[in-house]
Chain A
């Protein structure tokens, strides 16, 4: 059997090899080929997604740094900036769940650190296959332990996220992680900083080993097939204590103003960090690999250049600050090495002692990768699936039975089992942790709070990728708005199948279009994100999963609104319930169908709801507010009751069939409660904002009473909601 050519083994196509030859004007050597293969991988170059991502709205009044750097940055006033970013670590987690998830946390934390910001919160949106399968339970347990293992140890609170289940994630769990950091505006380390010729490239942190070689090209840019376990050496190993030391050292370096640039070594390792640093500064760089501290003595140049060993950072340091930088590193117990210097021109020249082992234009690696306009085609099976609308089927189950099934379904049930394994309190600023609509984290030194939420709508995305992504933006914004906060900006992670298949590429393009439209309408620019392709096995892709990470800002955290009911209040449904059961939890759990059209989304109505809740919160009008989405009105009411340990008596049906009234997932709705004396004020405010509102009943008592339909005790509802996940996990 003839041996596969090296470039193909590294994941480069024949055309891409031709381009490299043209750029260099000669045959690339083995090291250069390795460098191009990692930088031009789908994961690093966004070669399939770029043409679509360019259409996204990325600018807004508060945006200081948009897409293209390690993290997006938004001005939150008081001289402070928030850096935030989301990434996937799905492929490594599918193979080695603990380390895969742990290193995902470490990587996203370093992205935020790279901006000079101190990480203050983590959120983890996770999507698994059904827990009835043992392997999925093993994956969930490992991933959750890994997130906790890294996040708890490094001392960054995990304040939110979500966990959902769908059959296509059985072979391809989707593991996303978002980090949020904060810094005084003047301390930010952005590309706007001037880099001087002759400044040093200083590598500090952990030593470089053989772990994670080719992670981006081998793992992240291909599908996982049978025998994927053999890729385990491509999964990196996390060391949260080293990560903590690195974090503190970077904060000290940024505080003292010693840096011209700072970049983490994640995907594509040293090649990425050096080429991007040089390209960003519009300069070249010369480095000597013999200076790199190694974990194994016999690493070859291409291995040093592409290793993804964790807990390493690259700083650009002016000569006069070099001693101080190295002293700070030493104080934190970190090795530092001067790799080389920034030089005029555009070449990244890599030596091993006296021998030049690679010499390429830095920009050709970092910015000039291939761009593909891949073919798009709507899947042939979609039209029939959409026509199969579950809204008007004959429902034979009793209302109470349906309610129990939906409230206890793994997607809806309490995720306490998961988030109790995360330290959500460390740093002492968590006003509201996991379990509510959005997490609230106090901005240190101010009365402000950040409201943070992540959302993806995989089922909607499967039925209509445009609407799936748009709903995810709307729901994330709504979750943030429920606290009284103003949605400010998003980051995202786009998780899809193989982009070389036209139907997947169509799903991707539609999702980007939906996300862009929703962000424009809601005034929340896209400050960055990540694309994770190749989430499929044996030709079966995950549902299009556009995960949105929303940043909201609450001017005064004392005015924050919570989910929980308290007794003696009047309950309202804001927004309109329509017969929309397509893609709903009810349709899947009770009717056994994932079909139909997702609910209509009117973004003007959505924005009106957010403004109404914000205004109500400012006036201190609301006793509670809760987003009405997965599982519909019935679940929203039950969750507020469970959170407060307080029952209610409501009348919900109106002219709609009971199952539509209870379980329709119509968008742009919320369940709120007010003191009886202020009910009219709320009604007037709804009128002024053009938000429909319906008085449902009152809170109080120990039971959930759905007038004319059914009732059950708060304790019973709590048990259904709380025990579902632990029971499933017990096998």
Chain B
């Protein structure tokens, strides 16, 4: 975020103070080791009560990887994430297609745009019940889908077996968004692809517009 002009403020899991931030990012990692189900313990972290309140008030909330899993566990986002189809951890650069501009990450990004961003997860297979899935698709809650370099969505370019190749979703209100790929690993051109830049730039714009 700081490369793009924002300021990161670390928030401590055991506290209940959001320190007046303009947007909340739940980053990736292995919260509490993820020995149970990913994010299942973290949703009970004291800070999460404040995050839920912040989201309910319309504040922008982004969950990346483990953060996405936590948002699903907390009921802020639909669906769930289970083990990859291969049953193995995967660290790889993939392509995702932007499916909705109604999220803090994609407001400034055109639908249909293809971004190159790494994934790195063992439990990234997005699943939802049949009805839920129909609702997610029907209401346009899918924000990102895995795809080929040219935007084609097919099984070959679905790295983890996610339902409908879903890589990220938002809530109905459009202020909470979660995704498995790591936009923060795709900002600095020295380190590889920069598909995360437009997403995080959009988040900054979104947060600034609310101030």
Contact between chains at B191 and A428 (CB < 8 Å): yes
A622 to B122, CA, bound (A): 38
Contact between chains at B89 and A421 (CB < 8 Å): yes
> In the complex, what residue of chain A is closest to B188 when comparing beta carbons?
A428
9-residue interface stretch from A148-156, A381-389, A462-470, A541-549: A148-156
A341 to B129, CA, bound (A): 60
Query: CB of B163 within 8 A of chain A?
Result: no
- Among B34, B185, B190, the residue within 8 A (CB) of A153 is B34
- Among B29, B88, B182, B188, the residue within 8 A (CB) of A421 is B88
Contacts of B35 in A (CB 8 A): 241
Contacts of A428 in B (CB 8 A): 184-185, 188, 191
Query: CB of A43 within 8 A of chain B?
Result: no
Contact between chains at B30 and A422 (CB < 8 Å): no
Q: What is the 8 Å Cβ interface bit string for chain B, positions 182-206, against chain A (1 contact, 0 not)? A: 1011001011000000000000000
Contacts of B29 in A (CB 8 A): 155
Contact between chains at A152 and B188 (CB < 8 Å): no
Query: CB of B135 within 8 A of chain A?
Result: no
Contact between chains at A431 and B191 (CB < 8 Å): yes
A288 to B184, CA, bound (A): 48
Contact between chains at A425 and B91 (CB < 8 Å): yes
Contact between chains at A145 and B88 (CB < 8 Å): yes
Contacts of A240 in B (CB 8 A): 30, 33
The A/B interface has a contact count, at CB < 8 Å, of 61
A148 to B32, CA, bound (A): 17
Query: CB of B118 within 8 A of chain A?
Result: yes
Query: CB of A351 within 8 A of chain B?
Result: no
Contact between chains at B190 and A152 (CB < 8 Å): no
Contacts of A290 in B (CB 8 A): none
Given contacts A421-B88, A428-B185, A430-B191, contact A152 B33 (CB under 8 A): no
Contact between chains at A426 and B120 (CB < 8 Å): yes
> In the complex, what residue of chain B is closest to A154 when comparing beta carbons?
B30
A394 to B53, CA, bound (A): 78
Contact between chains at B89 and A423 (CB < 8 Å): yes
Given contacts A152-B30, A152-B120, A240-B33, contact A424 B190 (CB under 8 A): no
Shortest A277–chain B CB gap in Å is: 29
> In the complex, what residue of chain B is closest to A442 when comparing beta carbons?
B190
Query: CB of B90 within 8 A of chain A?
Result: yes
Query: CB of A557 within 8 A of chain B?
Result: yes
Q: What is the 8 Å Cβ interface bit string for chain B, positions 21-49, against chain A (1 contact, 0 not)? A: 00000000110111100000000000000
Query: CB of B92 within 8 A of chain A?
Result: yes
Contacts of B182 in A (CB 8 A): 425
A720 to B152, CA, bound (A): 26
Shortest A105–chain B CB gap in Å is: 14
Contact between chains at A241 and B90 (CB < 8 Å): no
> In the complex, what residue of chain A is closest to B33 when comparing beta carbons?
A241
Query: CB of A239 within 8 A of chain B?
Result: yes
Query: CB of A420 within 8 A of chain B?
Result: yes
> In the complex, what residue of chain A is closest to B12 when comparing beta carbons?
A331
Q: Give me the interface of A with B, judged by CB distance under 8 Å.
A: 145, 148-149, 152-153, 155, 239-242, 244, 419-426, 428-431, 442, 557-558
CB pairs A–B below 8 angstroms (23 shown)? A152-B89, A239-B33, A241-B30, A242-B33, A244-B30, A244-B33, A420-B89, A421-B88, A421-B90, A422-B91, A425-B91, A425-B182, A425-B185, A425-B191, A426-B120, A428-B188, A429-B191, A430-B191, A431-B190, A431-B191, A442-B190, A442-B191, A558-B190
